[in-house]
């Protein structure tokens, strides 16, 4: 198994924001599978869904994971919310490193994404209902894929990062001093 930190969870659970903070704190680079695909395709995720369909996007996600298994080490990897739903991706995630599931309630997700237009799966008449349905299907799969489950709905970023640091130290995946440094330039708007 490689020494990456992988963040999984539903859209709007804060994977990218937590990942950016972790990357500052641990001085590791961060990869986001959606961004990776967009750069490779020179199209946005919405354009890929509209022009090529969801199935094509899911294949791109698996290609991305395979490439990361070959090339990524000591990195923070944030993965799209639907990626763990494909069985084939489970072994690849495990091979990549330690998997953290950022678990958020449907209410939290809805509050964060109610004005978002970049998630094609939520551009429906009743996004709140869609979130509930998808989350119900997905939560058990996220849990099964995860080494660590973190409830992020009522937690501050500092608490989430502290928890991740504890888990990493517990598993001897982190130099114990690294996480105590003051860092966090507050230049990103979170949630
Ligand atoms: C998706 C989540 C999105 C993106 C695509 C599909 C999903 O990523 O991959 O819109 O199926 O949950 P984020 O989880 O980063 O929003």
The candidate with the shortest Cα–Cα distance to 98, out of 76, 116, 114, 80, is: 76
**Domain-located, residue 186:** no
> Which ligand 1 atom is at minimum distance from the Cα of 85?
11
**Domain-located, residue 65:** yes
**Domain-located, residue 185:** no
Identify the pLDDT of residue 177. Answer: 53
Residue 45 CB–ligand 1 contact under 6 Å:
yes
For 55-77, write each residue's pLDDT tens digit.
999 999 999 999 999 999 999 99
**Domain range enclosing 76:** 4-180
Q: Is a pLDDT exceeding 60 seen at residue 191?
A: no
Identify the pLDDT of residue 176. Answer: 52
**Domain-located, residue 134:** yes
> Which ligand 1 atom is at minimum distance from the Cα of 33?
9
8 A C-beta contact, residue 135 and residue 181:
no
CA distance 153 to 151: 6
For 70-109, write each residue's pLDDT tens digit.
999 999 999 999 999 999 999 999 999 999 999 999 999 9
Residue 121 CB–ligand 1 contact under 6 Å:
yes
For 122-171, write each residue's pLDDT tens digit.
999 999 999 999 999 999 999 999 999 999 998 988 899 999 988 888 77
Identify the pLDDT of residue 182. Answer: 42
CA 82 / ligand 1 centre spacing (Å): 6
For residue 64, give the CATH number of its domain: 3.40.50.300
8 A C-beta contact, residue 146 and residue 100:
yes
| Phi and psi, residue 100, nearest 5° | -105, 125
SS3 138: helix
Identify the pLDDT of residue 166. Answer: 87
| Phi and psi, residue 48, nearest 5° | -60, -45
**Domain-located, residue 63:** yes
8 A C-beta contact, residue 116 and residue 122:
yes
- Tell me how many domains the chain contains: 1
């Amino acid at each position: 198994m490689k020494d990456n930190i992988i963040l999984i969870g539903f859209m709007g659970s804060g994977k990218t924001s937590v990942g950016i903070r972790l990357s500052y704190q641990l001085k590791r680079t961060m990869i986001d599978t959606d961004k990776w695909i967009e750069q490779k395709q020179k199209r946005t995720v919405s354009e890929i869904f509209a022009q090529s369909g969801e199935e094509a996007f899911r294949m791109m996600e698996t290609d991305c994971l395979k490439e990361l298994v070959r090339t990524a080490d000591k990195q923070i990897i944030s993965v799209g919310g639907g990626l763990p739903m494909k069985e084939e991706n489970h072994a690849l995630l495990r091979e990549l490193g330690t998997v953290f599931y950022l678990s958020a309630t449907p209410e939290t997700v809805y509050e964060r994404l109610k004005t978002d237009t970049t998630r094609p799966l939520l551009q429906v008449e009743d996004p709140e209902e869609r979130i509930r349905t998808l989350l119900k299907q997905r939560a058990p799969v996220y849990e099964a894929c995860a080494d660590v489950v973190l409830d992020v709905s009522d937690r501050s970023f500092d608490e989430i990062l502290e928890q991740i640091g504890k888990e990493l130290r517990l598993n001897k995946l982190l130099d114990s001093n690294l996480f105590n440094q003051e860092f966090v330039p507050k230049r990103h708007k979170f949630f």
